[in-house]
Amino acid sequence: MLPGMLELSVLDQSPISEGSSGADALRNTLDLAELADELGYKRYWLAEHHGGPMLAGPSPEALIGPIETRTKRIRVGSGGVMLPHYSPFKVAETFSLLSGLFPGRIDLALGRASGTDPLTAFALQRDRRQAAPDDFPQQLSELLGHLNGTLPADHPFAHLAEHLPGGKEKPEVWLLGSSPASAVWARELGLPYSFADFINPHGGEGADMAGVWALAAETEEEAQRLASSGRMTLRLLRRGQLIPVPAPEKALAFLERDAGPRRSGEGRRGIVGTPDDVRERIEEVARRYGAAEVIVLTITHDHAARRRSYELIADAFARG
């Protein structure tokens, strides 16, 4: 555990750098997870995104096992499973299995978003005769019923909880959100809530965990240079163009030519700077939500720079 009242975790979207492959990105994910474990981060969550050239993580549950076998103490989980794509029972089985193999170290954070564009979301459907219904609250209730064995006795699936492979071992369930609706569901169900401040810095009030986009380097100038890769990808994303993460030199040249705001985050809250400055601004975000934990997302073209950023942030918090 990192010293101090505020705990830090890692959110990994498995970014694909220009000139590399998805397999390279996944190997980087395994490497970064080992580092996060050594540095004392509390959790390592894997995002779910589909059908694009920038992010290589469509299946958090497939990465959890390999990461668990390479780490010693860090909690590993989904950040999150996009529940509308799946059967609640299948998700319950998968995370029960993982909990049985790695007791006390599995998190299941759930999201309502699709993690992709509408066409790719449709491709993920098993039944394509019509669009899937928007029944997330019902899906969530059924999933919790499976995991907790609380489905009504007359429910046709009630007996299935007896045969979940993890037995008494269960994941720690979280709800993800970037809007007030998810916070309401979390309160009603008594679930811990993680709010994506890096998506919507104006949409939440209280949260157990705040998700921030942050990047630290030894100097402000170097941090801003490294962050240019993210600024370019985000600017093009807003125009419907998905690209691998470009090198800073390419990103800086693009941003120089392109009109518009040039600060990191582009409408989102991006925390970029020296380690102490990043620590202070992360603490500010945590105070805003009353959060005891912050989960940090960092994307760079160079994997070594991403590793170094997490090292610098951990060291800044250790120094207080």
Number of domains in the chain: 1
Q: Would 288 be classed as within a structural domain?
A: yes
From CA 15, how far away is CA 6, in angstroms rounded? 26
Residues in the chain: 320
18 lies in which domain range?
Answer: 7-213+278-319
- Return the closest-CA partner of residue 290 out of 197, 222, 200: 197
Q: Please check whether residue 306 is in contact with residue 223, taking contact to mean a CB–CB distance below 8 angstroms.
A: no
pTM of the model: 0.93
Q: Would 44 be classed as within a structural domain?
A: yes
From CA 316, how far away is CA 281, in angstroms rounded? 12
From CA 190, how far away is CA 175, in angstroms rounded? 10
Q: Please check whether residue 297 is in contact with residue 214, taking contact to mean a CB–CB distance below 8 angstroms.
A: yes
DSSP β-ladder status, 193-196 and 172-177: parallel
Could you read off the pLDDT tens digit of each residue along the chain, which spans 320 residues? Answer: 444 579 999 999 999 999 999 999 999 999 999 999 999 999 999 999 999 999 999 999 999 999 999 999 999 999 989 999 999 999 999 999 999 999 999 999 999 887 778 888 888 888 888 877 888 899 999 999 999 999 999 999 999 999 999 999 999 999 999 887 888 889 999 999 999 999 888 766 789 999 999 999 999 999 999 999 999 999 998 888 999 999 999 999 999 998 754 444 444 579 999 999 999 999 999 999 999 999 999 999 999 999 999 999 999 999 87
Q: Please check whether residue 69 is in contact with residue 137, taking contact to mean a CB–CB distance below 8 angstroms.
A: no
Q: Would 198 be classed as within a structural domain?
A: yes
Q: Would 199 be classed as within a structural domain?
A: yes
Matching residue, tokens 């299948």: 90
From CA 269, how far away is CA 83, in angstroms rounded? 26
From CA 45, how far away is CA 21, in angstroms rounded? 21
From CA 16, how far away is CA 289, in angstroms rounded? 31
Q: Would 261 be classed as within a structural domain?
A: no
The 8-class DSSP code of residue 129 comes to: S
Q: Would 34 be classed as within a structural domain?
A: yes
Those residues whose C-beta lies under 8 Å from the C-beta of residue 213, and which sit 6 or more positions away, are 198, 230, 264, 265, 268, 269, 270, 271, 296, 297, 298, 299
Q: Supply the CATH number for residue 41's domain.
A: 3.20.20.30
Q: Would 134 be classed as within a structural domain?
A: yes
Query: Distance from CA of residue 44 to its chain's centroid?
Result: 8
- Return the closest-CA partner of residue 148 out of 118, 123, 169: 169
Q: Would 129 be classed as within a structural domain?
A: yes
Tell me the two tokens of residue 145. Answer: 């019923």
